Amino acid sequence: MDTVFQQYKKCGVKVKTEVGGSEDWSSGFLYATSTNSQYNYVFTTKHTFKHSNDDDEVFIEDIGFIEIQCYNQTEFIHYEYIPQKEISSKL
Overall pTM surpassing 0.85 (yes/no): no
Collapsing DSSP to helix, strand or coil, 74 comes out as coil
> Residue 52 and residue 77: Cα distance in Å, rounded?
27
Q: Give the mean pLDDT of 8-30.
A: 90
Identify the domain containing residue 73 by its residue range: 4-90
Q: What is the average pLDDT across 21-40? A: 89
**Per-residue pLDDT, 52:** 80
Instruction: Name residues whose C-beta falls within 8 Å of residue 72's C-beta, 6 or more positions apart in sequence.
Output: none
Residue 56: CB atoms within 10 Å: 5
* pLDDT tens, position by position, 36-69: 988 888 998 888 898 887 888 888 899 999 999 9
Is 15 a residue whose pLDDT tops 90?
yes
Cβ–Cβ < 8 Å for 68, 58: no
pLDDT at residue 3 above 80? yes
| Chain mean pLDDT for the chain | 89
State how many domains the chain has: 1
DSSP 20-64: TTEEEEEEEEEE---TT-S--EEEE-GGGGSSSTT-SS--GGGEE
Q: Residue 66: count other Cβ atoms within 10 Å of its Cβ.
A: 23
